[in-house]
């Protein structure tokens, strides 16, 4: 049987970063509420000319630089922060990356699960024709109302993955466990820029999905829990992954050391929630920061509110560290510009669903920018004019420790 899986993987994020200590001070709460209670320290936040298209393209560009576009006949763009009700965000990315016209491009949506749906679709395409490679992009910007309980769990990131036969990084095994339950734990109406969430119900639905997907995984013949060496969970905030791990341990009756999760938190803790990208950001952290994973099995739990969940596993390939983008990811985290709280609140309040014509200011220093709306159509371009605002560099120490 042909091995199929993740051949390459890259992470990108937005121009700005907000310190949760600043948010805590403004709210009059102990910073430990966020650092320990949520397991979060910072959250990426978009500049006016950042969005899911620009950070998605920024994640995908290094993959094309390394591997070229030969064999890529499909781009799958997963997001729940879509910029258009009809046109795929992937089509904008297709043009920015200079891909040929012989590439099918679509957008997938099911809350935070969409990235896993895209990965599974890519695996099927490659299984049908192993000569093909598929570019999967998961890109999201998590937004909640100002002063709401969800506000400190905002964030933004994109992950791009090249899916192919004979992968260099992670072979995805064929067995999966799935669980779908209709529940109103989280959603974003089409007329709203922020999500609506029932925190208690969402946690309950998440934990229910862990055991539901696990039971189906075992029923399909998947390996037992003690044959999985690392777990990576979807991380709306990193503390939730800890709860999921403890819940799975109680359900299976097997002690699962929480220490095995720590590496998967390194990026998410300082990026915040990135919805469809969150699970794969955690995977990137594990692959970037652990040296002895070759031949081991990683379990991946994907959850999308509403809700759909899935457990899959992958075998880490020999030489995976040779393909690491650890330095590039650390540089992207360090390059974020710290956003003062008043400026953050003003930017947050200014976000709108309006399609009125507008020219966006040049702010982001990422490779691509949202140029504005003309004739009610969105326009994107490479970033050629660097931002003139003085940069306050944020060291990535907590992401690398």
87 vs 337: CA distance, rounded Å: 31
In terms of Cβ atoms closer than 10 Å to its own Cβ (0-12, 13-18, 19+), residue 370 is buried
Cα–chain center distance at 12: 9
Give the H/E segment covering residue 52: helix 52-67
- Any idea which residues carry the catalytic annotation? 80, 112, 234
| Residue 273 known to bind ligand | yes
Beta sheet of 42-45, edge-to-edge order: 42-45, 16-19, 337-338
Query: What's the CA angle centered on 178, arms 182 and 158, to 5 degrees?
Result: 85
| Residue 109 known to bind ligand | no
- Taking only Cα atoms into account, the Rg of the chain, rounded to an integer number of angstroms, comes to 20
| Residue 30 known to bind ligand | yes
Query: What's the CA angle centered on 323, arms 319 and 326, to 5 degrees?
Result: 120
- Percent helix, percent strand, percent coil in the chain, to nearest 5: 35, 25, 40
Alpha helix stretches (DSSP H) within 262-396: 268-271, 278-289, 326-334, 341-350
310 vs 105: CA distance, rounded Å: 24
Structural contact between residues 8 and 168, judged by C-beta atoms closer than 8 angstroms = yes
Structural contact between residues 185 and 305, judged by C-beta atoms closer than 8 angstroms = yes
136 vs 162: CA distance, rounded Å: 6
The alpha carbon torsion through 385, 387, 388, 390 (nearest 10 deg) reads: -150
| Residue 243 known to bind ligand | yes
Longest Cα separation, the chain:
59
46 vs 279: CA distance, rounded Å: 20
Torsion angles phi and psi, residue 192, rounded to 5 = -125, 140
First to last CA, the chain: 39
Q: Which residues are annotated as a binding site for (3S)-3-hydroxy-3-methylglutaryl-CoA?
A: 30, 144, 243, 273
Q: Which residues are annotated as a binding site?
A: 30, 144, 243, 273
């Amino acid at each position: 049987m042909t091995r199929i899986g993740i051949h390459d993987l890259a992470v990108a994020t937005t121009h700005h970063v907000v310190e949760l200590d600043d948010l805590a001070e403004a709210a009059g709460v102990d910073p430990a509420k966020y650092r320990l209670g949520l397991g979060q320290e910072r959250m990426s936040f978009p500049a006016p000319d950042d969005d899911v298209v620009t950070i998605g393209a920024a994640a995908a560009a290094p993959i094309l630089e390394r591997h070229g576009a030969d064999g890529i006949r499909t781009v799958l763009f997963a997001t729940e922060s879509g910029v258009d009700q009809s046109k795929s965000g992937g089509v904008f990315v297709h043009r920015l990356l200079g891909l040929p016209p012989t590439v099918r491009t679509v957008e997938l949506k099911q809350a935070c699960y969409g990235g896993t749906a895209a990965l599974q679709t890519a695996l099927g395409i490659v299984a049908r024709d192993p000569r093909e490679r598929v570019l999967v992009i998961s890109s999201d910007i998590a937004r909640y109302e100002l002063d709401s309980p969800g506000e400190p769990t905002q964030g933004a990131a994109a992950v791009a993955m090249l899916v192919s036969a004979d992968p260099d990084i992670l072979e995805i095994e064929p067995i999966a466990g799935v669980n779908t339950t209709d529940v109103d734990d989280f959603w974003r109406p089409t007329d709203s820029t922020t999500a609506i969430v029932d925190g208690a119900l969402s946690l309950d639905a998440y934990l229910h999905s862990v055991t539901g997907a696990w039971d189906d995984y075992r029923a399909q013949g998947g390996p037992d829990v003690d044959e999985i060496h690392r777990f990576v969970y979807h991380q709306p905030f990193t503390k939730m992954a800890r709860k999921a791990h403890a819940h799975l341990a109680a359900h299976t009756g097997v002690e699962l050391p929480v220490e095995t999760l720590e590496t998967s938190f390194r990026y998410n803790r300082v990026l915040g929630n990135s919805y469809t990208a969150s699970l794969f950001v955690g995977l990137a952290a594990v692959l970037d920061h652990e040296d002895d994973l070759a031949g081991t099995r990683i379990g991946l739990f994907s959850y999308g509110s509403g809700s759909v969940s899935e457990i899959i596993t992958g075998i880490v390939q020999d030489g995976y560290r040779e393909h690491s983008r650890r330095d590039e990811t650390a540089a992207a985290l360090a390059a974020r510009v710290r956003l003062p709280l008043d400026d953050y609140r003003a930017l947050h309040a200014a976000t709108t669903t309006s399609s009125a014509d507008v020219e966006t200011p040049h702010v982001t220093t990422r490779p691509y920018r949202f140029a504005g709306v003309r004739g009610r159509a969105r326009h994107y371009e490479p970033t050629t004019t660097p931002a003139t605002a003085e940069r306050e560099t944020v060291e990535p120490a907590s992401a690398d420790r």
